[in-house]
Amino acid sequence: MKQVVMGTAGHIDHGKTQLIKTLTGIDTDRLKEEKERGITIDLGFAHLTCQDGTEVGVIDVPGHERFVRNMLAGVGGIDLVMLVIAADEGVMPQTREHLAICQLLRIKEGLVALTKADLVDEDWIELVSEDTREFLKGTFLEGKPIVPVSAKTGQGVDELKHALQALVARVPPKQLEGKFRLPVDRVFTIRGFGTVVTGTLFSGMIRVEDRVEIYPKGIEAKVRGLQVHNASTPEAVAGQRTAINLQGIDKVELERGDVLGHPGEFAPTFMLDAVLQHLADAPRPLRHRARVRLHVGTSEIMGRVILLDRDELAPGEETYVQFRLEAPAIALPRDRFVIRSYSPVQTIGGGMVLDVQPAKHRRGDAGLAGHFRLLAEGSPEEIFAHHLKQAAHQGLRLSEFLPRTELSEARLRQVATTLQRAGWARAVNADMGWHLHVEALDTLTRELRRYLDTYHQQNPLKPNISLEELRAKVRSLSERVCLMALEELRQQGAVVVERDRVRLATHQVALDDTRERILNELEAEFLAAGYQPPRVEELFDKLHIGKGHDKALLQVLLDQGRAVRLKENVVFHRSNLLKAESLLVQYLRDHREITPIEFKDLLGVSRKYAIPLLEYFDSQKLTIRVGDKRILRGVT
């Protein structure tokens, strides 16, 4: 069953509320003050059943210029508008403003009801109709029906109903696969039921028992009950006027402008990128950093307009802007919005949201135009690929990206899969939906190669670099991304990864004759020193090994396993270490345990060497410490 919502629009006292009462039998002026003053202050709600059974939700809006903000909260989700113009008065200021708002919000269907036809004669009707046609030229209502009607005499009411039903039949059915979203337009409590919110279900669907989040407040609640057109229902879908009874939440925590959605699918933002159209009849140019009221969904938020490519936006012009907001907004790409000047309060423009998690842009940046054009005109795949490219080596996780797209999670996964198949995206971790753009991966592998190359040149005596150091030096890479890029390089045969160490496949420690000689001398000294090797620095002095690369020769000795470093300054020759080991093992076989003093005597060394040696054997899992003694591991 198709879901349609119709809104009224038009100047105050032109007969909107009266006409809705005539059409639906419902008086939408429900507030006491509205009854007393005879004017509509806030949104009113009614519904009407078409002959083909389609239920049409009706939103009656206030016409008074002081209440345009309430009007804006109502028209965001409507499919068609009934622009009401009193035949005796014709087009008035809020007729223009409301039409401009509908135009900016890209409402696609509608008609004009020429009300109070009983107050004027036929010729007059002809004249006003002609004026109205002229007024509608170039708008979405150009060529749409203009129906003279009187709520008083009933004249034209049947024609109006026919015309409306014809329009309703033309409204395309809603996509139900989007994210569930309901911008709240009313909050109240019903005794015994608790808190109820209402709104036009903007996209997706909601079921009883669903958990929802109230954005931007971040409060969670459960859906206890749902009503559409005053009847309870287990689920509500996009396009329906919906009342949601929430469990576990207080009325005071909610207000118009909040958005209900499923948890994790939206994120509050203080910045929005958008394409902004300045109305042609705006009174003055819009200045950079002008303070405006942004109306998106049912919310009104103060903020400044950052003009990125100019200092002033002339009436009738359009450009890309960034909003810096004073309170958090909930919006998604492709949402329509309206802006009103701070004072005097007047509708001056509107447009479409492009990005809800933008960076702070540099004004005058030449690359911005292309960036925005892609966001405005690209396909979902192009847009996701673009964000992925911008995320560079950090990539994007789908769950993280979800609040930044109007796509549902399922649709977003499809988009990512399409990109992967086409070779544009690579999964870092499929389970997490973590992706990298191929160009980002290319850049990264190039950088890693370049870094390794420089590293080898600067450290010719080091055989490789630890993964950890490499990650820290190249863009502070996450481990997963680094491993992925290295795997790529390994498959190309460019690098060799051995456990947690990496080198270019072409790199080998090369020693010339002099260094080969120094290396051998160094080794000989360690070998000759037995269990009491000299401090490393002492040895360097003795062999006249100065600054520069030669000191790194010790590392070569260590890398090749010919010597072992026990502590910062304690290095043993491998064969001495092995000898000490077999003495220790023999002793422990005979005596089962050994104290540090006994060990000192066994090797004939001082404490300075005994302790590091014992700790080394512990670390090698040869021995285990029990109190102040050591025993062989695995022997109890």
Q: Interface with ligand GDP by CB under 6 A: which residues?
A: 12-18, 39-40, 63, 84, 115-116, 118-119, 150-152
Smallest distance, ligand GDP to C-beta of residue 353, A: 31
Q: Phi and psi for 213 in degrees, rounded to 5?
A: -115, 140
Specify the residue, 38 or 634, whose C-beta has the smaller distance to ligand GDP: 38
- DSSP annotation string for 231-260: EE-SEEETT-EEEEEEES--GGG--TT-EE
Q: Which two tokens stand for residue 307?
A: 């003009």
Residue among 303, 305, 296, 211 nearest 260 (CA)? 211
> From the list Mg ion, ligand GDP, none, which binds 210 (C-beta under 5 to 8 Å, kind-based)?
none
Neighbour-count burial of 285, counting CB atoms closer than 10 A to its CB (0-12 exposed, 13-18 middle, 19+ buried): middle
Q: How far is CA 67 from the centre of its chain?
A: 33
Specify the residue, 16 or 340, whose C-beta has the smaller distance to Mg ion: 16
> From the list Mg ion, ligand GDP, none, which binds 602 (C-beta under 5 to 8 Å, kind-based)?
none
Is residue 456 a contact point for Mg ion (CB under 5 A)?
Answer: no
> From the list ligand GDP, Mg ion, none, which binds 624 (C-beta under 5 to 8 Å, kind-based)?
none
How far apart (Å, rounded) are the C-alpha atoms in residues 115 and 15?
6
Q: Phi and psi for 607 in degrees, rounded to 5?
A: -50, -35
Q: Which two tokens stand for residue 106?
A: 């890209």
Specify the residue, 74 or 303, whose C-beta has the smaller distance to Mg ion: 74
How far apart (Å, rounded) are the C-alpha atoms in residues 340 and 305?
11
> From the list Mg ion, ligand GDP, none, which binds 150 (C-beta under 5 to 8 Å, kind-based)?
ligand GDP
With contact defined as beta carbons under 8 Å apart, do 375 and 386 qualify?
yes
Is residue 623 a contact point for Mg ion (CB under 5 A)?
Answer: no
DSSP H/E element including 6: strand 3-9
Smallest distance, ligand GDP to C-beta of residue 115, A: 5
Residue among 246, 257, 366 nearest 308 (CA)? 366
With contact defined as beta carbons under 8 Å apart, do 308 and 322 qualify?
yes
> From the list ligand GDP, Mg ion, none, which binds 13 (C-beta under 5 to 8 Å, kind-based)?
ligand GDP
Specify the residue, 17 or 132, whose C-beta has the smaller distance to Mg ion: 17
Specify the residue, 108 or 152, whose C-beta has the smaller distance to ligand GDP: 152
Q: What's the per-residue H, E or C state across 540-600?
A: HHHCCCCCHHHHHHHHHHHHCCCEEEEECCEEEEHHHHHHHHHHHHHHHHHHCEECHHHHH
How far apart (Å, rounded) are the C-alpha atoms in residues 8 and 59?
6
SS3 427: strand
> From the list Mg ion, ligand GDP, none, which binds 409 (C-beta under 5 to 8 Å, kind-based)?
none
Candidates 5, 6, 10, 17; binder of Mg ion (CB under 5 A) is: 17
How far apart (Å, rounded) are the C-alpha atoms in residues 622 and 587?
13
Smallest distance, ligand GDP to C-beta of residue 118, A: 5
Specify the residue, 12 or 497, whose C-beta has the smaller distance to ligand GDP: 12
Smallest distance, ligand GDP to C-beta of residue 31, A: 13
Residue among 139, 140, 138, 135 nearest 114 (CA)? 135
> From the list Mg ion, ligand GDP, none, which binds 169 (C-beta under 5 to 8 Å, kind-based)?
none
Smallest distance, Mg ion to C-beta of residue 37, A: 11
Residue among 57, 55, 34 nearest 46 (CA)? 57
How far apart (Å, rounded) are the C-alpha atoms in residues 444 and 303?
39
Question: If you count them, how many residues does the chain have?
Answer: 636
Residue among 274, 273, 269 nearest 318 (CA)? 274
> From the list ligand GDP, Mg ion, none, which binds 635 (C-beta under 5 to 8 Å, kind-based)?
none
Smallest distance, Mg ion to C-beta of residue 40, A: 3
SS3 327: strand
> From the list ligand GDP, Mg ion, none, which binds 14 (C-beta under 5 to 8 Å, kind-based)?
ligand GDP
Smallest distance, ligand GDP to C-beta of residue 82, A: 11
Smallest distance, ligand GDP to C-beta of residue 374, A: 43
Enumerate residues 6+ apart whose C-beta is below 8 A from 423.
Answer: 438
Smallest distance, Mg ion to C-beta of residue 411, A: 40
Specify the residue, 124 or 451, whose C-beta has the smaller distance to ligand GDP: 124
> From the list ligand GDP, Mg ion, none, which binds 257 (C-beta under 5 to 8 Å, kind-based)?
none
Smallest distance, Mg ion to C-beta of residue 94, A: 11
Specify the residue, 36 or 628, whose C-beta has the smaller distance to Mg ion: 36
Which range, of 8-16, 177-185, 277-285, 575-583, touches Mg ion by CB under 5 A? Answer: 8-16
Q: Phi and psi for 364 in degrees, rounded to 5?
A: 85, 0
Smallest distance, Mg ion to C-beta of residue 91, A: 18
Specify the residue, 30 or 224, whose C-beta has the smaller distance to ligand GDP: 30
Specify the residue, 83 or 438, whose C-beta has the smaller distance to Mg ion: 83
Smallest distance, ligand GDP to C-beta of residue 278, A: 28
> From the list Mg ion, ligand GDP, none, which binds 507 (C-beta under 5 to 8 Å, kind-based)?
none
Smallest distance, ligand GDP to C-beta of residue 210, A: 36
Cβ-closest position to Mg ion: 40
How far apart (Å, rounded) are the C-alpha atoms in residues 295 and 339?
6
Which range, of 33-41, 406-414, 446-454, 600-608, touches Mg ion by CB under 5 A? Answer: 33-41
Candidates 40, 195, 347, 408; binder of Mg ion (CB under 5 A) is: 40
> From the list Mg ion, ligand GDP, none, which binds 94 (C-beta under 5 to 8 Å, kind-based)?
none
Which range, of 32-40, 89-97, 155-163, 341-349, touches Mg ion by CB under 5 A? Answer: 32-40
Residue among 361, 355, 363, 348 nearest 329 (CA)? 355
Specify the residue, 21 or 336, whose C-beta has the smaller distance to ligand GDP: 21
- DSSP annotation string for 27-82: ----SHHHHHHTS--S-EEEEEE-TTS-EEEEEE---SGGGHHHHHHHHTT-SEEE
Specify the residue, 97 or 406, whose C-beta has the smaller distance to ligand GDP: 97
Specify the residue, 44 or 261, whose C-beta has the smaller distance to ligand GDP: 44
Specify the residue, 84 or 539, whose C-beta has the smaller distance to ligand GDP: 84
Specify the residue, 64 or 387, whose C-beta has the smaller distance to ligand GDP: 64
Strands in 126-268 per DSSP E: 146-148, 181-183, 186-190, 194-200, 205-207, 211-215, 219-228, 231-232, 235-237, 241-247, 259-261
Candidates 3, 9, 11, 16; binder of Mg ion (CB under 5 A) is: 16
> From the list Mg ion, ligand GDP, none, which binds 427 (C-beta under 5 to 8 Å, kind-based)?
none
Which range, of 40-48, 66-74, 131-139, 524-532, touches Mg ion by CB under 5 A? Answer: 40-48
Neighbour-count burial of 328, counting CB atoms closer than 10 A to its CB (0-12 exposed, 13-18 middle, 19+ buried): middle
SS3 518: helix
Q: Which two tokens stand for residue 473?
A: 């030096």
Residues of this chain that interact with Mg ion (CB under 5 A) are 16-17, 40
